Structure 1
Amino acid sequence: MLGTIITLSATALATPIAGLLGHRHLKRTANAKYLRITTPNGIDESGFVRIGGIDQWVSVRGEDRRNPVILEILGGPGASNLIFLSRTRAWERHFTIVRWDMRGAANTFAATGPTGQGEMSLDRLYHDAVEVTEHVRTRLSVAKVLLVANSFGTVLGLRLARNHPDLYSAYVGTDQNIIDGGREHSAYRSLVARLQKTGKKKALAAVTAMSADKSTWNVEQLSKYNKLVLTTDPLSYDTMKTVVIRSLWFSPLHTLRGLRSYLKAMTFSEPLALEAVAIDEWAEGTTFDIPFFIFQGDADVLTPPQPAKRLFDDVTAPVKRFALIRGASHFASFRHPDQFLTLMLTKVHPAVTGKPATN
């Protein structure tokens, strides 16, 4: 979903950064040291696992194997939450976190390129996620895992949580997508209003010509829309530059070649977002048999909090909580990982363990 805007932001930063490779080396080295897990009962392992007929990259990190296990369902499509490790290192003191580069994403894409990804469909990704979950349950000897989905990953996350209460202890959605059978247009209307206010007539004409009906869009139109949504909102654009691009640039896990592959993966996977445009969350069901949480950026213009709250209000679950992450656009949990962790410890941890989290 965001491959185009990430690529454009990276290009914009390339010129000043080109002369700072030495600084990049020092920062990556410091980050690698910061990420080391040395606790006696900790875990830090990664590698390829055979999932859905292809090798897919799975990372498992945490300071204590006795902590609740999180499976992250990444955004994009085609992104990887591994780039945010330095921002989310504190999470690993309280949770064991499984980060999975799904087919078409990051390390999985880099290993064999576009021809080695097999079937690229939402249905295939859904079944892959179930296989990854089963792998995690076996590898870590846990009955259930905590499902945390962000951005595009929430499209899969809702389905997994709804259909598999036997596998997941709770659902946490952040940057929660609400599609509503193609009827959810609030982000589109807000974009039109911003373009009208700033007098960007050419962009406004392009957006209005596309109409709000995403089922009629092609990949190029989707890319243009995402670019305009995020670059016309100051907080969103700042988040792309200071959180996403900086995380990519200073990631100790990604070489320069790896960064190029990362961006290619997002472009390759972008058609998956068009496949999702007709999903109707209400038609698929608003009853969940596990605790249900949505933590949304209060200023998110790509996946606004109001539609997410509307879904939340209609959800029936044994426990449910909705919270706003203050001062956050899209990528809310990564811009303010401290706020997100506090919510995880005060709202989610007690619901899945039956006891409060300890420091």
Structure 2
Amino acid sequence: MRKTLLFLLLVFCAACSTTRPFRTSDGKRIPNSIAQVRRLKINGSKQFLTIRGADRNKPILLWLHGGPGGVAMPLYMHHSAALEEQFVVVYWDQRGSGKSYSPRISPASMTLDQFVSDTHELTSWLKKNFHQDKLFLVGHSWGGFLGLHVISQHPTDYAALVAVSPITDGPRSEQVSYEFAFHQAQQRGDTAGFSTLKRIGPPVNGLYQGGFDATLQERNLVQKYGGSYHQNLGGTFYRILWRSKEYNLFDYLKTKKIYRLNWPMDHAIWPTIDLKRQIPMVNVPIYFCLGRHDHHVPATVVADYCASLQAPVKEVIWFEESAHHLCFEEPQKFHALLKEKLLGIKPNVVRASDNK
């Protein structure tokens, strides 16, 4: 009986994925809007999209989430809702992440080349189905790193890339991040944190001898010292996750399996990342959004890469009240930036004379 109830619960949870429609003030669905959760086969792997836009003819904005791995898309969806008026926003769970996780995914397919190919195939599908020549890309952390590889290999498909706290140099980023945590532990008199970092030891070529556990311990200390989230968002994220209509308990229960699938790729790629050497030039406009307090993927390292990169349009925008997750910490500024840089919509500026 208990097994039957558990089975029914899981079936119920799996069937509860939906997304709210766009409605007018009197409750009618907005004509030509789009709000759907759909499964799409991409390079032989079933992957999930949530597509949302008040007008399906608006430009497409494809979100490349961080990671690799995890179930964070509800956070991106919650904080990007305001963009759905000016864009058709495509929230994509990449191969092996979120709703796209499956135990049938071959670990051998978890490579950077495969993720670039997946992004390109999804882009081709979106262009065809929405009758658009180019897409806008926005990528956070790993997603920014992936986006740089995508526009480097397929520049004609994209109108611009917004790279949010992207990974640009794995070994150097890890060294700078560790040094930040070490100095903070000393300055704060955090003996427990200091002992943990001494035991872990500094990274060698971007990796810790203790592997995933050591990496997680270092990241937890960076967060403790305000280098991942600068603002105290409290339990906001948990409320967002549990209130999501698109994701359910069954999706969240897969988190550990998702990490196990993605970690070998992350571990293999991290020491090799050096975009100064690998991607010195792109032929697509690019906007780097960096949190002033980011020590998770240190913003100083990213800014150094930005200075050397050649691009037809290139700009670095600093978010002074954020760390690594600026799209969650300063969402209004982030939204205004995307509308201005990608669509030419200037933010409303209140003049002094307007207040008289």
Residue 116 of structure 1 corresponds to: 105
**1: distance between equivalents of 2:230 and 2:335?**
23
Larger helix share, 1 or 2: 1
**TM-score, normalising length: structure 2:** 0.81
Q: Deviations over 1:2-50 (max 9, x none)?
A: xxxxxxxxxxxxxxxxxxxxxxxxxx9xx97687683222111221111
2:40 to 49, 52, 59: 49
Task: Map residues 92-111 of structure 1 onto 2, 5 A cutoff.
Answer: 92-109=84-101
**Is 2:314 aligned against 1:325?**
no
Task: Map residues 277-296 of structure 1 onto 2, 5 A cutoff.
Answer: 277=270, 278-296=272-290
Task: Map residues 188-267 of structure 1 onto 2, 5 A cutoff.
Answer: 188-208=178-198, 209-213=200-204, 214-217=206-209, 218-233=211-226, 236=229, 241-262=234-255, 264-267=257-260
Partner-residue secondary structure (3-state), 1:98: strand
Residue 87 of structure 1 corresponds to: 79
1:35–1:63 Cα change, 3 Å: closer
**2: distance between equivalents of 1:271 and 1:40?**
45
1:286–1:53 Cα change, 3 Å: same
Q: Structure 1 stretch 310-319 or stretch 35-44: which is displaced more? A: 35-44
1:141 to 113, 126, 131: 131
Give the CA deviation at 1:243: 4.5
Residue 5 of structure 2 corresponds to: none
1:269–1:35 Cα change, 3 Å: farther
Number of residues of Structure 1 aligned to a counterpart in Structure 2: 321
Task: Map residues 30-69 of structure 1 onto 2, 5 A cutoff.
Answer: 38-69=29-60
Contact 1:298–1:325 (8 Å) recurs in 2: yes
Q: Structure 1 stretch 59-68 or stretch 140-149: which is displaced more? A: 59-68
Partner-residue secondary structure (3-state), 1:258: helix
Partner-residue secondary structure (3-state), 1:115: coil
**Is 2:61 aligned against 1:70?**
yes
Q: Which has the larger radius of gyration?
A: 2
Partner-residue secondary structure (3-state), 1:288: coil
**Is 2:172 aligned against 1:183?**
yes
Of structures 1 and 2, the one scoring higher in RCO (CA 8 A, sep 6+) is 1
**2: distance between equivalents of 1:341 and 1:267?**
33
**1: distance between equivalents of 2:83 and 2:329?**
14
Percent identity between matched residues is 23
1:279–1:117 Cα change, 3 Å: same
**2: distance between equivalents of 1:169 and 1:276?**
27
Matched residue type, 2:104: T
**2: distance between equivalents of 1:139 and 1:49?**
13
1:224–1:34 Cα change, 3 Å: farther
**1: distance between equivalents of 2:308 and 2:62?**
25
Q: Deviations over 1:90-110 (max 9, x none)?
A: 11011111111111111111x
1:237–1:328 Cα change, 3 Å: closer
Contact 2:231–2:322 (8 Å) recurs in 1: no
Partner-residue secondary structure (3-state), 1:86: helix
**Is 2:335 aligned against 1:341?**
yes
Contact 2:59–2:135 (8 Å) recurs in 1: yes
Contact 1:104–1:265 (8 Å) recurs in 2: yes
CA RMSD of aligned residues (A): 2.7
Residue 7 of structure 1 corresponds to: none
Contact 1:70–1:148 (8 Å) recurs in 2: yes
Give the CA deviation at 1:335: 2.2
Any stretches of 5+ residues in structure 2 without a counterpart? 1-15, 349-356
Give the CA deviation at 1:211: 1.3
